Amino acid sequence: MTETFDFASWPPALTKDQLEALSLYASTYALSHGLLYLPPAAEQPKIPSAAIHAPISLFPSPFPRRLFEQANRIQKAYDILYARITTDEAFLDEIMGAETGVGRVDDFIGQLWKGWKKLRDTGRLPQPLHLGLFRSDYLLHEAAGQPLGIKQVEFNTISVSFGSLSQRTAALHRYLLNATGYYESSPELVAENFPVNDTIAGLAEGLAQGHKAYGVPKSQILFVVQPGERNVFDQRPLEYELLEKHSIRIIRQTFDELITSASVDPKTQVLRIAVSPDLVPGGSVEISTVYFRSGYMPNDYPTLQHYETRFLLESSKAIKCPTIALQLAGGKKIQEVLTQPGILDRFLANKEKYGNDVLSSTEIEELRESFMAMWGLDVGKDMVLPDTAARESGEEEFGVRKARESALSLVLKPQREGGGNNVYKEAIPAFLDSLPKEERQAWIAMELIQPPENAGNYLLRAGSVNSPSQTPVKTDVISELGIFSWALFGESKVEERTVGWLVRTKGRDSNEGGVATGFSVLDSLLLVN
């Protein structure tokens, strides 16, 4: 199928009165339906007294239907791939470990890996199951002479966010369609082009499957959260869904709290959280599943006690979402290594290891087509290189030289989540000059994805006391699609399901894409041909 949609025609033209009306409809719907953030504050109050609506787009963003279907189709392959990477300890040790891998030069990764290895060596990993709530992120890619395609930005294995608010945003745009018809501004704006998004139920189902596998009905799920979390309204709907649809209760604690409240029984490996006996008879709660909405950045572990608390949770028989192994599997270096020859086949086509549970060559190739070219800055004569000439030259500085020469078409990525960590284009040469040689192993170079030019939207952010205006801003944008799934797995069987989607949209002049970090707004899909 050939794409016929003209991205430069988006968004449709509106009069001033129409724009003001849509902004009012959108902001009041968001405030009425939990599409919310806590407002910025030096310290969040224990009991919130106010909220603002999350940053949103007024129109859904156009996305080719066949590429949306492709992104959903390949999610199963990605789930299986990352499940098998997670259970291949030798591979993770080699790529991410503190002896030969990224952990040698990245203290955060090294700390996690060393704690995980110590638990392995001392036989203190009693739970063989891993639970993942995943999100695979894509941008549209418009290469010269090629049909429009999708390319993966990254695969997220810890604290995947905006599942709940993405569903709310899709509902917001359907509401605007029903309430106004978008003033008949475009023939594309019809109900059949607005895909269903039931991410809340899907992600809660994944957590419920972990709870069920643990097998103690009266146990609870622990949400490990960050202090002063502004994005609480993305997390609470999962709690409500688990309680109302699955009769599973939730307890929320930060690492600071868990340092003193968490304990693991040395005989049974049961994880218990101490709470006030006024709240829970007996004064403690048994935990079936640990769901991390924290723990993905170094500043989540300001002291060694915080790391030790993470390792304590890991040593219990509660099911972790994710385990340390699964968190390490989501590293950017793993993403780069997967592009090297033979690596996908190792995990997806190895009949000797996986029997008939292998993927077809067509499925593997479709997944491979979602990769952008990338390489490690430490690439040299003993490593797989992106081109034959460089390989034959045996040039140890190839990775850095190639990044310097191609800087304007690259992004450099470290082993970090949460946005705001990458180095782009013009900033790359100076960064390379300052990067110690021994730290190159922690960085990858990735060719920039090229989204369609001149696509636009109206972006609406909540006002404040100092700036009460909520005038939507029309700007050229880039939209990123995320596909959610869950997977529960051990050494052999992988149970998984694709459960929903997310769209984040940012101004084209912004390199970073995080909503929580202020770069993007929440958006939804308009499927086009």
Q: Which two tokens stand for residue 502?
A: 């997310």
Q: 446 among the known binding-site residues?
A: yes
Distance of CA 277 to the CA centre of its chain: 37
* pTM higher than the cut 0.75: yes
Q: pLDDT per position in the chain (529 positions), as tens?
A: 345 799 999 999 999 999 999 999 999 999 999 999 999 998 999 999 999 999 999 999 999 999 999 999 999 999 999 999 999 999 999 999 999 999 999 999 999 999 999 999 999 999 999 999 999 999 999 988 889 999 999 999 999 999 999 999 999 999 999 999 999 999 999 999 999 999 999 999 999 999 999 999 999 999 999 999 999 999 999 999 999 999 999 999 999 999 999 999 999 999 999 999 999 999 999 999 999 999 999 999 999 999 999 999 999 999 999 999 999 999 999 999 999 999 999 999 999 999 999 999 999 999 999 999 999 998 654 444 344 444 445 455 888 999 999 999 999 999 887 667 899 999 999 999 999 988 998 999 999 999 999 999 999 998 654 545 578 999 999 999 999 999 999 988 999 999 999 999 999 886 654 554 446 899 999 999 9
In the residue annotation, 332 being an active-site residue is answered as: yes
The catalytic residue among 84, 117, 135, 168 is 135
Q: What is the pLDDT of residue 414?
A: 92
The catalytic residue among 27, 57, 61, 161 is 161
CA–CA separation, 495 and 79 (whole Å): 9
Q: 415 among the known binding-site residues?
A: yes
Residue type for 420, please? G
Q: 46 among the known binding-site residues?
A: no
CA–CA separation, 411 and 448 (whole Å): 6
Q: Are 457 and 523 in contact (CB under 8 A)?
A: yes
The catalytic residue among 320, 417, 457, 513 is 417
CA–CA separation, 167 and 525 (whole Å): 11
Q: 413 among the known binding-site residues?
A: yes
Q: What is the pLDDT of residue 408?
A: 95
CA–CA separation, 222 and 314 (whole Å): 13
In the residue annotation, 417 being an active-site residue is answered as: yes
Domains of the chain: 7-353+355-361+450-527 (no CATH), 374-447 (3.30.1490.50)
Q: 507 among the known binding-site residues?
A: no
Q: Are 135 and 355 in contact (CB under 8 A)?
A: no
CA–CA separation, 233 and 51 (whole Å): 10
Q: 354 among the known binding-site residues?
A: no
Cis amide bond preceding 55, omega within 30: no
Residue 70 belongs to what H/E stretch?
helix 65-73
Residues linked to residue 526 through DSSP beta bridges, in sequence order: 62
Q: 298 among the known binding-site residues?
A: no
User: What secondary structure letter does DSSP report for 516?
Assistant: T
Q: What is the pLDDT of residue 3?
A: 53
Task: Tally helices (H) and strands (E) across the chain.
Answer: 18, 21
Q: 235 among the known binding-site residues?
A: yes
Task: List helix spans (H) across 215-350.
Answer: 232-246, 255-261, 304-314, 324-329, 332-337, 343-348
In the residue annotation, 310 being an active-site residue is answered as: no
Q: Are 348 and 361 in contact (CB under 8 A)?
A: no
Produce one character per residue of 371-388: b if its CB has 16 or more CB atoms within 10 Å, e if not: bbebbbbbbbeeeebbee
The catalytic residue among 84, 117, 413, 440 is 413
Q: 229 among the known binding-site residues?
A: yes
The catalytic residue among 27, 136, 156, 193 is 156
In the residue annotation, 135 being an active-site residue is answered as: yes
Cα 150 to Cα 363, 449, 450, 475, distances in angstroms = 15, 9, 10, 22
Q: 156 among the known binding-site residues?
A: yes
Q: What is the pLDDT of residue 465?
A: 47
Q: Which of 350, 345, 412, 343 is nearest to 375 (CA)?
A: 412
Task: List helix spans (H) across 215-303.
Answer: 232-246, 255-261
Q: What is the pLDDT of residue 509?
A: 81
The catalytic residue among 34, 418, 490, 518 is 418
Count CB-CB contacts under 10 A for residue 22: 22
In the residue annotation, 161 being an active-site residue is answered as: yes
Q: 491 among the known binding-site residues?
A: no
Q: Which of 191, 140, 150, 153 is nearest to 170 (CA)?
A: 191
The catalytic residue among 117, 332, 402, 440 is 332
In the residue annotation, 413 being an active-site residue is answered as: yes
Residue 136 belongs to what H/E stretch?
strand 130-141
